[in-house]
Amino acid sequence: MAIIAKITTQKKNVERYNIFLDYGKGEEYAFSVDQDILISFQLKKGMELDELDISEIQFEDEVKKAFNLALNFLSYRMRSTKEIIDYLKKKEVDDPIIPDVIHKLSEYKYINDEEFAKAYVRTQINTTTKGPEVIKQELFEKGINKDIVTKSLTLFTMDKQIEKAIKLILKTIPKNSKTSERQIKQKLEQTLIRKGFAWDVIQIAMDEATIEKDTDEEWVALQHHGMKAHRKYEKLDGWDYEQKMKQALFRKGFDLDMIEKFINYIKDGES
């Protein structure tokens, strides 16, 4: 059994107090506590403490320290439960302390995974070009369970997805590109898939967005790639030359009729 011999305020942190105990051989520094712990345990000079009391006080003080760490982490933005746990582990908070911290944060409504998920989805809709599949994966990585993820993603309606996909298409379409219309469409589709949009949304958005190149632009693009192919295959004989040219330009996404037109254009120029 020990008796509290003295309690002093720390010089560098007035919200923490040093506890000095006397085990019968005079006072000696024992530990420090947060002012909330001092109050909750009603610590005062002359109070008797056994080892169990001391362990309980120190445990609650460690919880308080970790709780303050978590509050500071939350001061920047909302966090998921998993983000808080990962942060506390990174700060080397002992594992037995963390559940108590999470319980207190939940009790005081500082964390709520459902509200976090809804807010996260709204933010991603309003500030990014991400589709629902990417957002879903990010929520899973933040430890949000499947039911909450599914519920929160209902905020990203089909209309909003199509609207965002169209904006992304119009923003991504290359200007004065020497690429065929078909290849442009393929690249746009790949971009939308990477961004997390479903195929049905992509098809609707592609149909509604104006991405067709006019004939003159397509012809300029074909001439660019056609001349490169011509320089590569011009030493081949007639049929072999035409087949190689058609294969090369078709792979670039050009229409066969336009390819035929270009090959005839080259022949007329050489005759």
Q: Is residue 30 one of the residues assigned to a domain? A: yes
Residue 172 lies in a domain: yes
* pLDDT tens column, 110-133: 999 999 999 999 999 999 999 999
98, part of any domain:
no
Are 7 and 20 part of one and the same domain? yes
5 and 32: one domain?
A: yes
Q: What is the CATH number of the domain that holds 191?
A: 1.10.10.10
Distances in Å between the Cα of 118 and the Cα atoms of 29, 139, 153 are 49, 10, 8
Q: What is the pLDDT of residue 271?
A: 47
62 located within any domain:
no
Residue 258 lies in a domain: yes
Q: Determine which of 84-88, 196-200, 255-259 has the lowest per-residue pLDDT on average.
A: 255-259
Among all chains, which residue has been given the structure tokens 């942190």?
Answer: 13
Q: How many CB atoms lie within 10 A of CB 173?
A: 16
In a domain, 162, yes or no: yes
Mean pLDDT of 175-183: 65
Read off the pLDDT of residues 205-225 as tens digits, 9 standing for 90 and up: 988 876 544 456 666 676 777
Let me know whether 151 and 186 are in one domain: no
- What pLDDT digit, counting tens, does each position of 18-48 carry? 999 999 999 999 999 999 999 999 999 999 9
Q: Residue 29: inside a domain, yes or no?
A: yes
Compute the distance between CA of residue 241 and CA of residue 225 in angstroms, rounded to an integer: 15
pLDDT for the residue 235: 80
Span 59-82, mean pLDDT?
Answer: 96
Note whether 222 and 186 are same-domain residues. Answer: no
Task: Say how many domains are in the chain.
Answer: 4
131 and 176 belong to one structural domain: no
What's the predicted TM-score (pTM) here?
A: 0.72
pLDDT tens digits along 158-171: 999 999 998 898 88
Structural domain boundaries, residue 119: 113-155
Return the CATH number at 253: 1.10.10
Same-domain status, 149 and 169: no
Same domain, 266 and 224: yes
